[in-house]
Amino acid sequence: MKASILIIEDEPAIVDAMQYVLEDEGFATIVRSTGSEVPMLLEREDISLIVLDIGLPDISGLELIKLIRPRFDVPVIFLTARSSEIDRVLGLELGGDDYVVKPFSPRELAARVKAILRRTGQREKELPPVSASVPAIWRVDADRRQIFYHGVGLELSRYEYNLLGVLLHSPGRVFTREHLMRLAWEEPDASMERTVDAHIKNIRAKLKAIAPDDEAIVTHRGVGYALHERP
């Protein structure tokens, strides 16, 4: 069965080029020029990956991913005419897996699609066992890939789970961004170190929603991150 790629883009010439290359690579494609019906489409279609333009006519792609992420873990590649770092990082912080800046090569896009599907299609990365010294406020159910904080189950993306799992393996140990990428990503060379910062920011927000006064993850400026050691 072919993997289905949902293209959400309102420029016909760009859509035609993407469809031609992706279908030539063996993918099935579904196209939408607006984002309003995408959540309902995801409920009824088996979508393997979304290529999402940030500048849609009815809703920003960044706003659309906010609607998608709480309910669907489908990988997303952003298309953007904005090349500034802040826009790229924002897209990753909101749950994007990658981004392509216009103008772009459709063949490059297809290569990125295949790389992401290869990562997500593999068996989830096995993490080392949680350290016995982890404070009692944490609990990990490795079989269900679920982490509990103060008794509350965290809704984590696959990379958020991997990152937090690495930190829980060695409380107090400072991990560099490069080290975290090697341990938490299947293909670390395909990612950027700033991606680690974006995911850590997301994890912190979820932890703060449960325990606002706790600083569970410590930043070591210029080095990396560590799980807070408690007495």
Residues 76-83: what's their mean pLDDT? 82
* pLDDT on residue 128: 57
Report yes or no: 31 and 57 within 8 Å, Cβ to Cβ.
no
Residue showing tokens 């008794």: 151
Instruction: Report the b/e string of 140-159 with b at 16+ CB within 10 A.
Output: beeeeeebebeeeebebebb
pLDDT(1) > 70: no
pLDDT(85) > 80: no
Report yes or no: 196 and 177 within 8 Å, Cβ to Cβ.
yes
Quick: pLDDT tens for 8-45.
999 999 999 999 999 999 999 999 999 988 988 988 88
pLDDT(158) > 90: no
Q: Is the pTM of this model over 0.75?
A: no
* pLDDT on residue 81: 79
Cα 126 from Cα 138, distance rounded (Å): 19
Residues 76-89: what's their mean pLDDT? 74
Residues 100-127: what's their mean pLDDT? 78
* pLDDT on residue 18: 95
Residues 177-183: what's their mean pLDDT? 82
The model's confidence at residue 123, banded by pLDDT at 50, 70 and 90, is very low
Most confident of the ranges 25-39, 61-75, 135-149, 217-231: 25-39
Residue showing tokens 């749950």: 95
* pLDDT on residue 134: 77
* pLDDT on residue 210: 95
Report yes or no: 23 and 45 within 8 Å, Cβ to Cβ.
no
- CB-based burial label for 30 (10 Å; 0-12, 13-18, 19+): middle
pLDDT(133) > 80: no
pLDDT(122) > 50: no
Residues 91-120: what's their mean pLDDT? 85
Residues 137-156: what's their mean pLDDT? 88
